Chains A and B, each alone.
Chain A
C-alpha cells in the first residue's frame, strides 16, 4: 500500500514538471474553463430567469446551483485525473507500448489510471468548489449533510471512473475509443441539471441506465438534507458493483491482449 502511495507521488511530480514546460497553454486552459462554467451557468440562469419560475423540478435556484457546482467539480475531476490517463490507453495499445505497462511489477490497472495528470484544468475543480460553497452559503446545511454528501460524492467519483475505464478498456478490441468517450460527455451534460428537472422516462434512464444522476443530483440532495435512504444506499452499491465489473472486464481485456505486432 505504501509502495503505491509513493508511486502516486512520483507520477504526480513527473507529470507536473513536464506540464509546467508549456506555460502558454495555461491561458488556453483558463479560457476553456471559463467556457465550461459559462455554459453551465447560462443553462440554469436562463431557465430561472423566466418570470414566475421559482423552482426547476422542485429545486430552488440555490439548490440547482449546488448541482451545477458538483457538475463543474466532476468535469474538473475528469479532465485533471481521468481523461489524461484513459485517452492514453488506446494509444498505448495501438503503438504497442502497453507491453511495458503490463510487464511492470505493479498492478497494470493502477498504473494506467494514475500515471498522468492534467494540472492545467485545476481551475475547473476550484470553480466547482467555489460554486458549491456559494450555493451552500444560502442554504441550511448541517454537518451531517456535508459528511454524507462527501461520502456519496466519493462513490460518484468511483462511478465516473468506472464508466470511463470500461469505455476505454474496449480499446483492447476496437483500438479506437475516442468517440465513445465523446458520447459519454454528451450524456454527462445532462448532469448539469437536477435529475428531477427531466421528464420521468428520461429521469429513469439517467438513474439506472447511465447512472449520472448519482454523480451530481444525489450528493446535492444529501447536502440539502432531502436524501431518501434508498438512494443513499444505492449510490455506494452501484459504485461497488461497477468497480467489480470494470475490474473483471479489465482483467479479461488484458488476458486477450496480443501486443501490437503479433
Chain B
C-alpha cells in the first residue's frame, strides 16, 4: 500500500511541477474553449428577445448560469491524452515507459489531475469575472458544490478512459485523433454544451439518458444552477460508475492487443 502511495506522490509531484511550467499556456487553453460561451451569448440574446423574456422557463440570467457552469465543468473535464499517446506510439517514446513497473496510463492520469490544480485558481477568477459580466447566479445550497465536484471526478475519469482507448488506436491507424473529434462532438451534443438537454427532441433525450454524457456536463451544471436534486445526482453517479467499468475493461482489452501488435513490429 505504501509503495503504491509513494508512486502516486512522486508522480503527482513531478507532473505538477511540469504543468506549473505551462501556467501561461493553461490560461490560453482555458480561453480557447469558447463554444459554451458562444452558445451562452446566443441563448441570452434569444431569451431577451423572446416574448416574456424567457424560453422554456429559462430567462437570460438562467442561461448565463447554465452555460457558465458547463464552461466551468468542461474545464475540469479537459483531456488531451489521445494526442500524447498518438505521439508516443508513433515516435517510439512508449518503449522506455514499458520497462517501468507501472502501467503508463497512471502517469498520464496524474498529469491531467495535477493540471487541474494549476488551472483551478485562474479558472475561478475567470468564472467570477464572466458571472459578474453576464449576471449569472449560482446556487446557495452548499451541498451542491461537493456533489458537483464528485460528479466531475467521475466524469473526468470516464472521459480520460475513453480518450485513452481512442489514443491507443494509434497502434493500428494514423487517424486516431480524428476519431476523437467525432466522439467529442457526441459528448458536447448529448452532454448539453449546445443547450440544456430538455431543449433537445424527445427521442434524443431518451437515448441520451443511457449514455454517460448528460451526467458529465449537463447534470453538474444544473446542480450548480440549483436546478437538479440530490437524487438525480445519485442516479447520474450510478450510471457513470457503470460506464466507468465498461470503459476500464475496453481500455484494458485495447491496451493488451495493441501492445502485442507494438511488440510484433520490433519496436
A interface vs B, CB < 8 Å?
Answer: 22, 24-25, 27-29, 31-32, 34-36, 38-39, 42-43, 46-47, 49-50, 52-53, 56-57, 179-180, 182-183, 185-187, 189-190, 192-193, 197-199, 202
Contacts and interface: CB of A to CB of B under 8 A. Distances in A.
A24 B182 contact: no
Interface in B153-179: 173-179
A22 B194 contact: no
Contact of A47 (B43, B56, B174, B181): B43
Nearest to B38: A190
Given A43-B194, A186-B31, A199-B45, A35 B181 contact: yes
B151 interface: no
A20 to B, nearest CB: 14
Interface residues of B, number: 40
A182 to B, nearest CB: 4
A-B residue pairs, 9 tightest by C-beta = A28-B175, A28-B178, A186-B32, A35-B181, A186-B34, A31-B178, A179-B28, A182-B32, A46-B195
Given A24-B175, A49-B201, A42 B35 contact: no
Nearest to B186: A38
A47 to B, nearest CB: 6
A184 to B, nearest CB: 9
Contacts of B176: 28
Given A24-B173, A28-B178, A31-B182, A50 B55 contact: yes
A25 B51 CA distance: 49
Interface of B: 25, 28-29, 31-35, 38-39, 41-46, 48-51, 55-56, 173-179, 181-182, 184-185, 188-189, 194-195, 199-201
A30 B39 CA distance: 25
17 contacts: A24-B173, A25-B174, A25-B175, A28-B174, A31-B178, A32-B178, A35-B181, A43-B38, A43-B194, A46-B194, A46-B199, A52-B51, A180-B28, A186-B34, A189-B35, A189-B38, A192-B38
B32 A50 contact: no
A224 to B, nearest CB: 19
Given A25-B174, A47-B43, A31 B179 contact: yes
Contact of A35 (B34, B44, B45, B185): B185
A192 B41 CA distance: 13
Contact of A183 (B31, B173, B181): B31
Contacts of B194: 42-43, 46
B42 A193 contact: yes
Given A52-B50, A186-B32, A189-B38, A39 B178 contact: no
A52 B201 CA distance: 15
Mostly helix, strand, loop or mixed at chain A's interface? helix
Contact of B34 (A39, A53, A190): A190
A119 B199 CA distance: 38
Tell me whether chain B's interface is mostly helix, strand or loop, or mixed. Answer: helix
Contact of B32 (A52, A185, A190, A193): A185
A52 B46 CA distance: 11
Given A199-B45, A202-B41, A29 B178 contact: yes
Nearest to A196: B45
A36 B175 CA distance: 16
Contacts of A22: 174
A35 B184 contact: yes
Contacts of A192: 38
